[in-house]
Amino acid sequence: MDVMTAVTTRRSEHTLQDPAPGDEEFSYLLRGASAAPDHGRLRPWRWVLLRDEDRDVLGGCLAEEAGTVGEQAERIRAKVRRAPLVAALVFAPREGKIPEWEQLAAATCMNYSLMLLLHARGYGSIWRTGALTRSTAIGGLLRLAPGERLLGTLDIGTADAHTVRNRRPLEDVSGLITSFGELRGRGADKVPAAAGAV
């Protein structure tokens, strides 16, 4: 699958089943995804993989923190079991000269690259955020260090082959592009010199 096809055909897959990539295959795909832009090559992120009963522990933790019982608690636990592999992305910014916003951009670029690689390999995925990213109990469960935060989970598995996937038409985004020459024509060359410039 070429890159343009991967980008234009990838969809968030809500129905996922086995198989999902094993640890070795996930690691292989992550090696490719980690080639995404990353100023300083800091790798300001880490993954926690949850499978099988691990997902039940995560769901139980969310249900307990929400104070739910019975059917309501079971609905929360079922949400975490929607995919055979739940990969939690932890943002772990590094101290130093690279601003945190650049490190966050690196983590999100890596995540999207991984989604494309999974799609090209025949897997489906969906990015999930919501309550678990704000949960202190989940932070403790995943052993988040001071300064780290959970960005979300990537649910991974094999998409339902019977799901109809309509290809999204590519939108005209040319209105979001401006050449600098156009800006200069509007007077950008008359911008005053920066304060303190000699």
Is residue 93 situated within a structural domain? yes
| Tens digits of residue pLDDT in 38-79 | 999 999 999 999 999 999 999 999 999 999 999 999 999 999
In a domain, 43, yes or no: yes
The rounded distance, in Å, linking the Cα atoms of 13 and 165 is: 10
Please write the tens of the pLDDT for every residue from 76-101: 999 999 999 999 999 999 999 999 99
- The reply to whether 188 falls in a domain is no
Range of 72's domain? 3-163
Q: Work out how many domains the chain is built from and give that number.
A: 1
CA distance 34 to 110: 6
Whole-prediction pTM:
0.88
| CA end-to-end distance (rounded Å), the chain | 54
What residues contact residue 43 under an 8 Å CB cut-off, 6+ apart? Answer: 34
CATH number for the domain that contains residue 121: 3.40.109.10
For residue 183, being part of any structural domain is answered with: no
